[in-house]
Structure 1
């Protein structure tokens, strides 16, 4: 109970929110690392997953290789990178470690979404004369969109939570509030930092859910292909 009271006192003290060591500054650093890592991860994982899912070859191998990276602790990767020349380049080791952590859920969900797209709709779209790239962009991608966003949501929450490790080698982010609390034996500050990280993770997850609902595509090509597939199924049933 004392820890909760101490955390409340720390969070409601205005001085803890201002300055270069304050919450707002650390929150900005945390968001910067999160957004950069997610952007790089999406740029790496999504094109590979969408292409392999479209052609139906090599995807299982790519997914297995990416998932193997989950067995390596992110902190261990961060420590190793800090001991290399990359350790002299600010947030680069942290970004690389977090990207390696974020790629697997993005790659796996996007590939599975592409492979689990309604094949009747895909075949109907082919029958309408769509090229391979039209099929990918106008049919398969919209059908895979929910699973792609699920992967993005998972990766975003994981990165927000794991970015706290950046503080251990002296990086920025909300983790600095937690480590500072440990260094000064201020349990209330440690709890306050954990609450801030958890709150940010929930906020980011909610934003991704809202974005999914607002951006969910259902273009005319998909609707037309679905109608054609339904007509073909009815014709087969009559036969």
Structure 2
């Protein structure tokens, strides 16, 4: 409990709110790396995922790539890319690291969102004369949007957590107090940095959860609500013959 109080005092210390490593600066750097990484990863992964889901081709390769990318240790990948890019290109190496780690969740969310759609709905859209683009935009994209946002949610949380190691290569971010505090034995500073990263992740998760819920089409919500209301009645009808026999 004393360590937690020390961490709060460290956060409230005016010295932490001024200078080149002030908390607002570190917070802005963390958000910038996260936003750029997810944006680039989305631009690469989402079209590929939509194409896989729409055509049904390349799913095995996508699953294999996603699984392999998730197995890569983020810290080791960052150090490897820093060595390959050179010390003058550390920001680019870090950005590539974060992008590679965000791609699997976005790719999976894009193609599973379309694959999960009932094929009869797509056949009905084609039967009424919709073009392939209209089928994608008006049916597949909108019905697959909740799972796509779920992939975006997972990717963003992954990147928020991984950007913490950017402080190890002197790129700032909310991981800087953690990286700086460990060798100095300043565990109040370490805990304060961890609390900030956790708070940012929780806020992002809450916002994406709201967006994911709001993205469900009204017709789907109504159908799910009607189905949930009918389930108790169905159970009553199934139990009624047993009661009659008894």
Larger Rg: 2
Asked if residue 28 in structure 1 is aligned to residue 28 in structure 2, the reply is yes
Residue 52 of structure 2 corresponds to residue 49 of structure 1: no
Is 1:146 matched up with 2:146?
A: yes
CA distance in 2, matches of 1:138, 1:217: 13
Question: 1:107 Cα deviation (Å)?
Answer: 0.5
Q: How many residues align?
A: 221
Match of 1:12 in 2: 12
Cα distance in structure 2, aligned partners of 1:63 and 1:56 = 13
The residue aligned with 2:160 is: 160
Query: Residues of 1 paired with 2:195 and 2:186: CA distance?
Result: 15
Residues 86 and 92 in structure 1, CA contact (< 8 A), matched pair in contact too? no
For structure 2, the residue ranges without an aligned partner over 5 or more in a row are: 224-246
Structure 2 SS opposite 1:168: helix
Q: Select between 26-35 and 90-99 the one with higher mean Cα deviation.
A: 90-99
| Aligned twin of 2:74 | 74
Quote the offset at 1:35 in angstroms: 0.1
Does the 8 A contact of 1:179 with 1:190 survive in 2? yes
Q: Helix, strand or coil for the counterpart of 2:185?
A: coil
Higher relative contact order (CA 8 A, sep 6+): 1
What corresponds to 1:126 in structure 2?
126
Contact 2:146 2:216 in 1 (8 A): no
- Report the equivalent of 1:83: 83
Residue 233 of structure 1 is matched in structure 2 by none
Q: Give a deviation string over 1:120-159, Cα, whole Å, max 9, x none.
A: 2111101111111111111011111111011111111111
Q: What does residue 38 of structure 1 align with?
A: 38
Question: What is the Cα deviation at residue 213 of structure 1?
Answer: 4.1
RMSD: 1.8
1:195 is matched with: 195
Q: For residue 87 of structure 1, report the CA deviation from its aligned partner.
A: 3.8
Output the CA distance in 1 between the equivalents of 2:134 and 2:217.
Answer: 14
Q: Does 1:204 align with 2:219?
A: no
With normalisation by structure 2, the TM-score equals 0.85
2: CA distance, partners of 1:14 / 1:105: 39
Give SS of 1:48's match: helix
- Give me the whole-angstrom Cα distance separating, in 1, the residues matched to 2:210 and 2:198: 19
Label 1:115 to 1:184 Cα distance change in 2 as closer, same or farther (>3 A). same
Once the two structures are TM-superposed, the CA of residue 95 in structure 1 deviates from its matched residue by 0.8
